[in-house]
Chain A
Amino acid sequence: MNYRQAYYDEPLIKDIRSENSFTINEDAGNAEKLIDPSLARKDLKLPEVSEFDVVRHYTRLSEMNYTVDLGMYPLGSCTMKFNPKYADKIASIDGFTNIHPYQPYSTIQGTLKVMYEMQEYLKKISDMDAVTLQPMAGADGEFTGILIVRKYFEYRKEKRTEIIIPDSAHGTNPASATMGGFDVIELPSDEKGMVNVDALKAAISEKTAALMITNPNTLGIFEQNIVEIAKIMHDAGALLYYDGANLNANFGITSPGIMGFDIVHFNLHKSFGTPHGGGGPGSGPVAVKSFLKEFLPVPVVTFDGKQYSLDFSLKNTIGRLSSFYGSFSVILRAWSYVTYNGEEGLKNASIKAVLNSNYLKKKLEDKFEVPYYPLKKHEFVLSTEKNGKKALDIAKYLLDNGVHPPTIYFPLIVKEAMMIEPTESASKNDLDSYARIFISALDRSVEELEKMPENTAISRIDEVKAARDMKLKW
């Protein structure tokens, strides 16, 4: 593939000068004189630029940015599937965007209905009993879940201070557990890349509050001992937490509820096709089994058969995580996604995602080591170590060929890891082409690879200089 990304030597917005064109006609009168002199603004630097220059500036910058609309974006555990355009349309409807969070319920029945239906959708998809839509990202969902764990054991007057987390887990898991005041116990994986059940048994004590895992795990492997793991945790009086980052493998196939999880978070910006926005916004709803319902953050959306409203009365609520009720417009897009796909569509998405992952794995496994249990789910991890190549260098080669690389150097338990999640939004042709490019990297010497990329807007960046100079503003 011949590829060349656009490049502009684009100045910073402050260095573009043209006539400001923003207009409000009303005169502010003597308003400035009303401000106490000690509180008056003395000087303010902001750009002096016309609207057309602002649009041109950001349009030029946009051309120096890859998007899932250009091609595969197979970052592992990130689920970069196609973001459907009907959801863009729906999220821009005035009747939804112009709603204030403190409006009377009688004026926001449509908004609350969307939220209520989304809560119901999530319950059915996950086989859980109650949902909060409030958390604003996956990690925020984890934090919510951790606070529920904490409050649950406080309520039961049990002093449990430890959360067990596998060494293959997403970094947010241990970070969230620590934020909630728990000690993290790291659990080694077994030779198949699954939770080591013996090590789990050895790690459990009366101090254990919960085990946080994702299933399939970050190696793309289904935790086959999940039923036993759930029993071990529950027999010990501890809880089982499901990190929903990898839910895209499971729609209609299995569910966290059936597997025995007590608390689940979803990543609507992953599994439910809402845009990632270059890093956010996300949405991380949390679902729990009925015995934890009273611990959810408030409010939750309720329906009495006539009217939708917000319920602030949960007895043992952990409180609040967000200024208001969560990322509504993200929730709305996810609602659109589920409404469009229905049961069959969701299940087919998971089937295709898993098929694509296994197909690409088989295309690559003759040339690259793909460690651990062979049957993968929605993603897989290969190692470039035995090829004598760095994962970073292969990633830069992929960039030069106009495709986005996988997640690299994660999970930490695989050396020179490349974690590949094609999602369902890739055709056989896409996968064949991706595999061809990937394998052709091996024809290049280390010296050649180290000079790449050359076809992107810029070449490799001096990251040490960035950290040393700490130039974080103009």
Chain B
Amino acid sequence: MTENATPFMDEISSMLEFLGFSSVDELFSDIPKSVRKQSMGIGRGLEEYRVVQRAKLYASENKSGMVNFLGNGIYDRIIPEAVNNILGRSEFLDAYTPYQPEISQGMLQSIFEYQSLISDLFKMDFTNASMYDGYSALGEAIRMAYRINGKNEILIPESTYDSKLAVMDSYGRGLGIIFRKYKMSRSGKIDLDDLSSKIGENTSAIVVENPNGYGILDENVTKVGDIKKSAIIISYVDPISLGAVAPPGAYDSDIAVAEGQQLGIPMNFGGPLLGIMSFKSEYVRKSPGRLIGESVDHNGKRAYVMTLQTREQHIRRAKATSNICSNQALLTLAASSYLSILGRDGLKKVALLTIKHARDLETELKKIGIHKYYDSLSFSDVLFDMKNDVKEKLAKNGILGGTRLRELIKDTELSTGTFFTVTEKNDAESISKLVKALEVIS
């Protein structure tokens, strides 16, 4: 038995005595012998410093300090140190769901601010707090659309990644949801004629993406409202882009969802993330997840509390709008503090630098004979036409990048499509490193 694992024997003895038990075994006398466990086989514990040491050793077995051109859902962006500092405060980190509002106003107000900040950023009425990640938020949005109109066909762009469709499909399975893909045009944007021809009586919702799965900023999303008939528009957007690009609320979105990782959350191998979901106010009672509302206390002071809980599983059980309980509360705080520190000008700058770097990358790669697939404006993920896989070779040269489109969409017709992704971090110096490495290996 290690030191740290030794119970405080005097205390245990006196507690057992109080209970009238002669040993701790009596605490488990109700458990049938046939299901008692003998040993786990995971060995002794380590002292604290050795656990940290082992973790550092494992971390060192990852290759770090590489120049990063990976994206397609997770992005390597600048995170102000203050965000990590705020998230590290035990009052937020080590608190539970604010079931007792009088002693949990800090968390409640911060979540209310998150709902407000995202609603402003997305130009939507309301925002919940929160979904697990972008894809599961999309899955929940599809279920919400079904609750609104009872129809079961969802139209999605052909540029939808397989993993995203797989998550949507998991969420739709219990409702018998069917997915149909609509085409993208030769410029990599929504083919409005094709989409229009596919909207029918059973169409529940149209999923539009901006930027889309090819990384393209697509102004056709603003025209879907004209052809949607009675379908619901679910927009999947990049929250950083909204610093410079029209928000989903500006093009008649009924529900808007996003992956919020870029708002102050480290990549962490893809989790935990932040599923953002905003919607029109008329759908609030059909919406999943937690909502914080403003009220007053008995002395008339402004106060915040979990509200409309009759939609939630702990009250409604089998009839709840979702099973979600634990959510991404701490990550909503990351998003709030990130957006507050950057402000309007900061977010706009980050968005515009992303566009600039995408254009710089395009220009520089063109010089070495690597061309963009579509002649349309890219946001972060820039899709190039490259014959050979370069990801592994680049990694050996200290550069991450070169995800193949067919890794993301198995049956794509763009079989030579290859992504390099930029953020505000990928300045001229990092682009020139990539160019040099590609010149050698491709």
Contact = CB atoms under 8 A, between A and B. Distances in A.
Given A320-B167, A472-B115, A325 B270 contact: yes
B314 A410 contact: yes
B270 to A, nearest CB: 3
A461 B35 contact: no
A322 B271 CA distance: 9
B117 interface: yes
Interface string B118-129: 011100011101
Given A24-B78, A181-B173, A258-B37, 7 more contacts: A44-B121, A59-B86, A101-B267, A106-B63, A139-B313, A345-B5, A473-B127
B326 A279 contact: yes
Given A13-B113, A457-B102, A470-B307, A28 B269 contact: no
Interface in A15-68: 20-22, 24, 26, 28-29, 31-32, 34-36, 38-42, 44-49, 51, 54-55, 57-59, 61-68
Q: Which of A64, A106, A174, A469 has the most CB of B within 10 A?
A: A64
A5 B103 contact: yes
Given A110-B62, A340-B45, A355-B16, A276 B96 contact: yes
B148 interface: no
A259 B32 CA distance: 10
A276 B326 contact: yes
Contact of B323 (A139, A181, A463, A472): A139
Complex A-B, nearest 8 residue pairs according to Cβ-Cβ distance, in ascending order: A324-B270, A95-B59, A277-B330, A342-B45, A181-B174, A279-B329, A65-B106, A101-B270
Contact of A459 (B24, B102, B106, B347): B102
B153 to A, nearest CB: 17
A184 B174 CA distance: 13
Interface stretch (B225-233, B242-250, B431-439): B242-250
Given A47-B343, A351-B27, A65 B105 contact: yes
A174 B246 contact: no
A108 B63 CA distance: 7
A103 B103 CA distance: 43
Interface in A340-385: 340-348, 351-352, 354-356, 358-359, 362, 373, 375
B406 interface: no
Interface string A154-196: 0000000000000000111011111111101000000000000
A473 B337 CA distance: 16
B369 to A, nearest CB: 23
B294 A471 contact: yes
A445 interface: no
Contacts of A473: 112, 115-116, 119-120, 125-127
A354 to B, nearest CB: 5
Contact of A41 (B76, B245, B318): B245
Contacts of B317: 171, 174-175, 184
A351 B7 contact: yes
B259 to A, nearest CB: 7
A462 B337 contact: no
Instruction: Please classify how large the interface on chain B is, using the bins under 10, 10 to 19, 20 to 34, 35 or more.
Output: 35 or more
A3 B48 CA distance: 33
B76 A100 contact: yes
Contacts of A344: 1-2, 5, 44-45
Nearest to A308: B61
Interface in B125-159: 125-127, 129-130, 132-136, 143
Contacts of B103: 5, 65-66, 399, 404, 453, 456-457
Interface in A435-456: 451, 453, 456
Interface string A84-104: 001011101111111111111
A178 B73 CA distance: 30
A466 B329 contact: no
Interface stretch (B178-186, B201-209, B298-306): B298-306
Contacts of A35: 217, 244-245, 355, 377
A113 B61 contact: yes
A241 to B, nearest CB: 14
Contacts of A281: 132, 271-272, 326-331
Interface stretch (A203-211, A222-230, A232-240, A287-295): A222-230
Interface residues of A, number: 189
Nearest to B301: A458
B295 A58 contact: no
A96 B28 contact: no
A69 interface: yes
B11 interface: yes
A130 interface: no
B37 A252 contact: yes
Interface string B94-107: 11111111111111
Contacts of A219: none
Contacts of B43: 342-343
A340 B52 CA distance: 9
Contact of A31 (B52, B102, B104, B359): B359
A22 B343 contact: yes
A213 interface: no
B303 A179 contact: no
A345 B344 CA distance: 50
A279 B316 CA distance: 19
Contacts of A456: 102-103
A336 interface: yes
B386 interface: no
A472 B46 contact: no
Given A99-B269, A121-B42, A324-B270, A113 B323 contact: no
A220 B296 CA distance: 36
A456 to B, nearest CB: 4
B194 to A, nearest CB: 20
Contacts of A330: 271-272
A226 B32 contact: yes
A202 interface: no
A320 B322 CA distance: 18
Given A174-B317, A174-B318, A345-B45, A470 B284 contact: yes
A342 B5 CA distance: 8
Given A12-B113, A51-B80, A453-B102, A328 B271 contact: yes
A390 interface: no
A2 to B, nearest CB: 16
B358 to A, nearest CB: 9
Interface in B370-396: 377, 391-392, 395
A26 B164 CA distance: 34
B191 interface: no
A14 B37 contact: no
Contact of A342 (B46, B167, B315, B424): B46
Given A49-B340, A102-B72, A104-B395, A463 B92 contact: no
A51 B434 CA distance: 34
A224 B348 contact: no
